[in-house]
């Protein structure tokens, strides 16, 4: 949202530059797409067969449409330029090395809790997300890279669905923080529900997440604590 034109450029010209490179070197090209493809979904959970509910003119469109165009471009290079491609749709991911202030709900909550300031929930907190630990994501990406005969798209995410309000409570429990929770208006067109159907990933990649949210949050909090102690 801070870099709208740059985001559109990466999804279009940047993606095509990488596809050109893959063609030149006869390499497999893996597109890191997103669950934002599904927009504010009318189907739950979301499988790869769902075409999504996305506004092409809304404030989120600079990211959503960049990714949708990236998928279309990747498929065109597969069909007409014989480039070996794969598409993964990544759902919410978290873990060590998240950046402070990057706008992600896990890093926001953890940093706020460790700093003793209120945790900010945008909206009523009943919106749901499904959080995949970074190690599991990387395992899924590597599995997709190795499946040279599989184009996808394929969902890579953790199907454990949780409300944002419940996530805030778990972060407070994990950190031992006494921070309060405050509410602010929800962003425009913020998805109400998000949960991947990973049947295809299980069948074609033999992949499913192994790290629980409890374990993943503890690892993430410990990493942020360590970084804070080094400041």
Q: Structure tokens of 53?
A: 């509910």
Burial class (CB in 10 A: 0-12, 13-18, 19+), 198: buried
Check 38, 50, 63, 94 and give the catalytic one: 63
Please state the separation of Cα 179 from the chain's center in Å.
Answer: 26
Residue-level pLDDT at 86: 98
Residue-level pLDDT at 62: 95
User: How many angstroms separate the Cα of 188 from the Cα of each of 4, 54, 63, 73?
Assistant: 16, 12, 14, 28
For 192, the 3-state DSSP assignment is: coil
Q: What is the pLDDT of residues 170-208, one digit of tens each?
A: 999 999 999 999 999 988 878 889 999 999 999 999 999
Q: Structure tokens of 96?
A: 């060590």
pLDDT of 230 strictly over 70: no
Averaged pLDDT, 79-93: 97
> From CA 67, how far away is CA 89, in angstroms rounded?
10
User: How many angstroms separate the Cα of 148 from the Cα of each of 30, 88, 139?
Assistant: 10, 13, 16
Q: Structure tokens of 86?
A: 């794969």
pLDDT of 4 strictly over 80: yes
* 63 included as an active-site residue: yes
Domain housing 140:
4-230
Whichever domain contains 183, its CATH number is 3.40.50.720
Q: What is the pLDDT of residues 21-69, one digit of tens each?
A: 999 999 999 999 999 999 999 999 999 999 999 999 998 999 999 999 9
Averaged pLDDT, 202-220: 97
Q: What is the tally of structural domains in the chain?
A: 1
């Amino acid at each position: 949202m801070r870099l709208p034109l740059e985001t559109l450029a990466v999804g279009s010209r940047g993606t095509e530059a990488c596809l050109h490179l893959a063609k030149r070197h006869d390499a497999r090209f893996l597109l890191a797409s997103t669950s934002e493809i599904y927009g504010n979904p009318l189907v739950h959970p979301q499988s790869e067969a769902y075409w999504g509910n996305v506004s092409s003119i809304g404030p989120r469109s600079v990211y959503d449409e960049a990714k949708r165009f990236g998928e279309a471009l990747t498929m065109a290079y597969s069909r007409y330029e014989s480039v070996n491609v794969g598409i993964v749709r990544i759902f919410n991911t978290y873990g060590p090395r998240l950046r402070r202030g990057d706008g992600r709900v896990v890093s926001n909550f953890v940093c706020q809790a460790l700093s003793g300031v209120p945790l900010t929930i945008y909206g009523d907190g009943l919106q749901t997300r499904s959080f995949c630990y970074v190690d599991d994501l990387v395992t899924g990406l590597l599995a997709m890279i190795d499946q040279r005969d599989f184009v996808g798209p394929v969902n890579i995410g953790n199907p454990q669905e949780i409300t944002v309000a419940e996530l805030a409570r778990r972060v407070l429990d994990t950190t031992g923080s006494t921070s309060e929770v405050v509410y602010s208006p929800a962003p425009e067109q913020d998805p109400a529900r998000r949960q991947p159907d990973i049947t295809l990933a299980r069948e074609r990649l033999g992949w499913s997440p192994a790290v629980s949210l409890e374990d993943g949050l503890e690892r993430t909090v410990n990493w942020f604590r360590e970084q804070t102690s080094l400041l």
